[in-house]
Amino acid sequence: MDWALQALRNTKLLFGTLLFFGLLAMTARTATDPDLWWHLRTGEWIVQTGQVPHNDPFSFTRAGRPWVSHEWLSEVLFYGIWRFASWAGLIVFSSMITTGGFMLLYLRCRARPHWAAGATTLGALASAPAWGVRPQMFTFLLASVLLWLVERAEEKPWLLLWIPPVFLLWLNLHAGFALGPALLLAWCAGLAWEGVSGETDWTVVRPQIVRLLLVIAACIAVVPLNPSGAELYRYPLDVLRSGGMRSFIAEWASPDFHQGRYAAMHLLCLALLILFARGAVRPKVRVLFPLLGTLLAALDAVRHIPIFVLFAVPVIAAALPVGSIRAPDNKAAQHTKFRGRFAACVVILIAVFCLVRWSMLVLGQSQSEAESFPKKAVDFLASKGNSGRLFAYYDWGGYAIWRLYPEDRVFVDGRADLYGDELLDEFKVTMQLKPRWRQVLEEWQVQTVLVPTSSALAQALALDYDWRSEYQDDRAIVFRRVGPPRGGERTPKTPSQQGKKVQKSLAELS
């Protein structure tokens, strides 16, 4: 016990421990991300077949179409954890991944430990809207690892050798790997500016630039080392150009500062503005370039806020007092002993709170699932057997895949990159009862519809003699087609590479 008390008298370790357990409690979330369900099903598919899917197996609209399963390793990990540790394992694992990224951020803050912990906490609150049980948290952790390595490499250049292996892991976990080379290039551009402007001696920055450029080249060279091969070069660019992503996925929208959950992000930006205006901070250009770039990205899309936090928090911490806290000289021994015991009690209390928080989330998982998804309606569909071609609400598509595949295939789900803007527009047309909405259901020979009870489509189908309501609760309603569709089977016109292969697959599913 004495060694533990002695360790807790170390101020940096004390606040690091408090921050660690606090973050484990803060970052824990129930497993209710809309995309989690098709991630789990994909992980199961990979484990059972022993291969990564290259064509879509889950929908009837894109059956057989090439699909880049860029998160395959995350999906295998998630499914493995769920299989052996259920929802508790997923909740705890995701919390630890997110907390790991913030602990590295804390270590990068050059301020007194309590100030560094406070700044990190503010950054955590700012990025909270992007937390969840989702593969994207790997991108946050590995981006944090990347920045820690780059900063430490200024004194220990050999640490850069770790970046390509980390990047290889990253590109098999999540498509956010593209951030890695982008951040390194921005860092290099800042170094070059420092050298040209004379802020830093060119003989100092030149070898750093050369080393970083070699690392970037190595990272780009290893991109094909994934099941999709060279396709992964193009994938991040296709995602950024996708209009469907911004239309259907909330985190691709700009943060709405009228909402309370973005208050911490507001404070973070305000703190930076005040510190720059007063001249309290003067970060090097190598930091300033990626800071401004990630700020613009965060204001453009909520999902980029955590990456912005990785740059903003150390800049804010640099303006705060540095050094360590010392106990008063009088009765120093007794004071230190009391402080150690008090710190131990606080750490234990926060650790207990963390365990209680985890337990509550695990116990509430079933209720959270029922509140976020049409659990009872899908139970009904599962009990009835094959529902055929299922038109489900966008955020429920992944849940339907998890619960109803392989008996049923969905119209669309959270994989907006797979479906493309044209099909997503058809989904929107149908949900909003715009012209051709009925034609979409006829051409795709939809047999079952699962949508929110209050939706416009639900109101229209309730008055349509071709459809019969088979189940309804306060969250969802299920419609079944009465008789055959009036129109012929839909033949996709785009993209051109679908051709006869997709038509054949659709015919087999009919």
Q: Which two tokens stand for residue 271?
A: 């703190």
- Closest of 490, 419, 428, 486 to residue 457, by C-alpha: 428
Quick one: DSSP state of residue 444?
Answer: T
Asked if residue 68 is part of any domain, the answer here is no
Nearest to 133 by CA among 299, 379, 352, 361: 361
Supply the pTM of this predicted model: 0.89
- 340 and 429 together in one domain: no
The domain total for the chain is 3
Judge if 246 and 189 occupy the same domain. Answer: yes
H helix runs in 323-396, sequence order = 332-363, 365-372, 375-384
Regions of the chain short of the pLDDT cut 50: 1-5, 7-9, 324-325, 327-328, 332-333, 491-510
Enumerate residues 6+ apart whose C-beta is below 8 A from 284. Answer: 190, 194, 199, 200
Q: What is the pLDDT of residue 497?
A: 39
Residue type, 36: L
341 and 283 in a common domain: no
Residue 59 lies in a domain: no
Supply the range of the domain harboring residue 348.
Answer: 1-19+336-366
- In this structure, are 241 and 165 located in the same domain? yes
In a domain, 98, yes or no: no
Q: Which DSSP category does 391 fall into?
A: E
Task: Give me the CATH number covering residue 421.
Answer: 3.40.50
300 & 198 share domain: yes
Same domain, 143 and 270: yes
pLDDT at 12: 76
Residues 263 and 173 in one domain: yes
* 329 falls within a domain: no
Question: Is the separation of the CB atoms in 408 and 381 below 8 Å?
Answer: yes
Same domain as 264, residue 397: no
Q: Are residues 123 and 271 in the same domain?
A: yes
H or E element in which residue 470 lies: strand 467-472
Are residue 253 and residue 275 in the same domain, yes or no?
Answer: yes
Same domain, 243 and 302: yes
Look up tokens 């009835």; give the residue.
Answer: 384
pLDDT of residue 113: 87
| Residue 76 in tokens | 């295998």
Backbone angles phi, psi at 482, to 5 degrees: -100, 110
pLDDT for 487: 57
Answer whether residue 37 is part of any domain. Answer: no
Q: Are 418 and 62 in contact (CB under 8 A)?
A: yes
Name the phi and psi angles at 477, rounded to 5.
-135, 140
What is the model's pLDDT at position 385?
A: 78
pLDDT of the residue at 297:
94
